[in-house]
């Protein structure tokens, strides 16, 4: 992997989705996680569903995350890469 990834990213990607919390995704801390939960995105798999609905499109996903939770570019990018890597491993 060319870019270094966080431990949180590696932990998330290393196992099936199951009932992971939204805050288990790279780039999503307690504040963004809380905002996502408030909008019904209470589990990582629910966010994954939105990621797939947006056809894994980085720009659309990051825009969606910004609009829904106020994520900045780094947070959105980290979350995108995390979900993309997970999909590459499991889908």
CATH number of the structural domain spanning residue 67: 1.10.150.40
Predicted confidence pLDDT, tens digits, the chain (91 residues): 346 789 999 999 999 999 999 999 999 999 999 999 999 999 999 999 999 999 999 999 999 999 999 999 999 999 999 999 999 999 9
pTM equals 0.93
Per DSSP, the three-state class of 37 is helix
pLDDT at residue 3 in the model: 60
Whether 22 contacts 33, CB under 8 Å: yes
Q: What are phi and psi of 43, to 5 degrees?
A: -135, 155
**Domain for residue 1, yes or no?**
no
- Residue 30's domain comprises 7-86
Domains contained in the chain, number: 1
HSE (side-chain half, CA atoms, 13 Å) at 21: 12
**Domain for residue 15, yes or no?**
yes
**Domain for residue 2, yes or no?**
no
**Domain for residue 46, yes or no?**
yes
């Amino acid at each position: 992997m060319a870019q270094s990834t966080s431990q949180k990213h590696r932990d998330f990607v290393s196992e099936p989705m199951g009932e992971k919390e939204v805050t288990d995704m790279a780039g999503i801390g307690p504040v963004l996680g809380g905002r996502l939960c408030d909008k019904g995105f209470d589990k990582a798999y629910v966010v994954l569903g939105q990621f797939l609905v947006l056809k894994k499109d980085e720009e659309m996903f990051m825009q969606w995350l910004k609009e829904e939770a106020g994520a900045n570019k780094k947070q959105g990018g980290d979350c995108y890469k995390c979900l993309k890597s997970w999909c590459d491993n499991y889908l």
